[in-house]
Structure 1
Amino acid sequence: MPSSSGRALKWEVLSLLKERDLPDLLKQLTKYPPQRVINPLIGALCHREEAVRLRAAIALGEVVSRLAQKDLEAARVVMRRLMWMLNEESGGIGWGVPLAMGEILARSPSLAAEYAHILISYLREDGNLLEFEPLQREVLWGLARLARENPKLMRQKGALRYIRPFLDSPDLQVRAAAVSALGLLADSDSVSKIKQLIGDQTGVPVPEGDQWRIRPLGSLVQEALLRLGSDSAAAKDAI
């Protein structure tokens, strides 16, 4: 088991995030007690490289879900810390935090049952709405990640009504993330609105595995419509 000091551990974890492929990264992190690597991973959420932030979010999801299996209260402490980072009183922006929350909840049904409504609340005007559009994107991608694993819970928590308005966002990347989340949730009520975006071929960054890939918005619309079973012929011709 590695026994590095705090500063050395920070650089070890950062090196893993930069240099290892995802399966090897997650394997290497199992060599550390979960609570030892949580601080370095949270620190990496605000790294200047987007790919590092995304990998840190995925790794944090794996580590915290592993922690929750042994010590649920300790995992709750991490969740509360992440929530604090999105609080205005924290003084920070909270880069990567919604992605990490989505990844944690996708990997831990126990934490999802307790905290899914919190992640949704960051889209709610009557909740904890994040008005900064780059964070809105992260919330929506975090919810899309959770929707992929637990769509039933998302619907039970009322996610659909709070995601739908973001199809009208002035921010193209926000709209793209909303399309993906609603497609994964099979929201038939959004079909007509989603169809309006089918011809937009503007490229947007999309989290695929541990990388951000540039995809035409129209291809995300195509995927959403195919999941919804709506207008399949038009969807196949969208890109």
Structure 2
Amino acid sequence: MKTPRETTRTLKAGLRQVLQSDDWDDRLLEWSYSQSRRLINPLLSFLLSPDETLKWRSVSAVGLVMSVTASTDMEAARVIMRRLIWSLNDESGGIGWGSPEAMGEIMACHRGLAEEYHRILVSYIRRDGNLLENELLERGVLWGIGRLAQVRAGLIGYAPPHVALYLESHDPLHRGLAAWSLGFLDASPFRHQLERLLDQGVEIRVYENRSIRSFSIGELAARAIRNRG
């Protein structure tokens, strides 16, 4: 008989195999309805993976599993959200890699959780909020805001001024992800800032519609102007 640790290792290995398959989302959906709560811990551990594909598929998987969990036990879902929030707290002793992305995906997948937690996610890039002051984590927040805006732009209509500050960042990923996010929000007040990025050919990789794609910063700025500017 397997020990709990051996069972966990088996589950994690099987989940990794699913996420690396071509039909991972269909297979995970079937699995999540029968054992969503058991899946969340290994999925959160995969957010730390140096494997880009595994990390981003895990972000999507966390959103799917959390949506299933919240549909039957909202308090259990809140516990996981609070865990992600705690991981971004200085007192946690950790760094919270992948947590902002997971939060954005979860809220894109479940409206109830979005209504409760959207302000916390945006606060991580607000100068008057809970600014993380960590460039790598702020990239994750910008992605998370953009992902949420893809589905629920009306819920975070207050976010563009805070996102737009990153259009001036020295970090190309900040500039590109800010432009990407503004493409799903009202970018009209920031048109001139976006126009200044149109000739920037630096490419960044963005996870969009469950695929990792390369865009130049200029392309993302043009798209924001075209879509919402």
TM (norm. structure 2) is 0.92
Range that drifts further, 118-127 or 23-32? 23-32
1:64-213 superposed matches below 5 A:
64-155=66-157, 158-213=158-213
2:48 alignment partner, SS class? coil
Give the superposition deviation at 1:124: 1.6
| Distance (whole Å) between structure 1 residues aligned to residue 176 and residue 195 of structure 2 | 12
User: Structure 2: which amino acid aligns with 1:119?
Assistant: L
User: Alpha carbons of 1:25 and 1:171: their partners in 2 closer, same or farther (altered >3 Å)?
Assistant: farther
1:43 equivalent to 2:38? Answer no
Give the superposition deviation at 1:101: 0.5
| Aligned equivalent of 1:224 | 224
1:212 alignment partner, SS class? strand
CA deviation digits over 1:85-135, x for unaligned, max 9? 111222222111111100000011000000000100110222221122121
Gaps of 5+ in 2: none
CA deviation digits over 1:182-226, x for unaligned, max 9? 121022101110000001111111112333222111111121111
| Aligned equivalent of 1:234 | none
1:146 alignment partner, SS class? helix
Deviating beyond 6 angstroms after TM superposition, the runs of 4 or more aligned structure 1 residues are none
2:183 alignment partner, SS class? helix
Aligned length: 225
| Distance (whole Å) between structure 1 residues aligned to residue 127 and residue 31 of structure 2 | 38
1:63 equivalent to 2:80? Answer no
User: Alpha carbons of 1:18 and 1:185: their partners in 2 closer, same or farther (altered >3 Å)?
Assistant: same
User: Structure 1: which amino acid aligns with 2:190?
Assistant: S
1:204 alignment partner, SS class? strand
Give the superposition deviation at 1:31: 5.2
Q: Does structure 1 retain, via aligned residues, the 8 Å contact 2:149–2:184?
A: yes
Q: Does structure 1 retain, via aligned residues, the 8 Å contact 2:204–2:217?
A: yes
2:205 alignment partner, SS class? strand
1:126 alignment partner, SS class? coil
User: Structure 1: which amino acid aligns with 2:118?
Assistant: A
1:5 alignment partner, SS class? helix
1:207 alignment partner, SS class? strand
Gaps of 5+ in 1: 231-239
Q: Does structure 2 retain, via aligned residues, the 8 Å contact 1:51–1:210?
A: no
Give the superposition deviation at 1:169: 0.9
Q: Could you tell me the percent identity over the aligned residues?
A: 40
Give the superposition deviation at 1:78: 0.5
| Aligned equivalent of 1:54 | 56
Give the superposition deviation at 1:74: 0.6
1:8-27 superposed matches below 5 A:
8-27=10-29
Q: Does structure 1 retain, via aligned residues, the 8 Å contact 2:100–2:144?
A: yes
Q: Does structure 2 retain, via aligned residues, the 8 Å contact 1:22–1:210?
A: no
User: Structure 2: which amino acid aligns with 1:186?
Assistant: D
TM (norm. structure 1) is 0.89
2:29 alignment partner, SS class? helix
| Distance (whole Å) between structure 1 residues aligned to residue 21 and residue 52 of structure 2 | 14
Give the superposition deviation at 1:5: 1.5
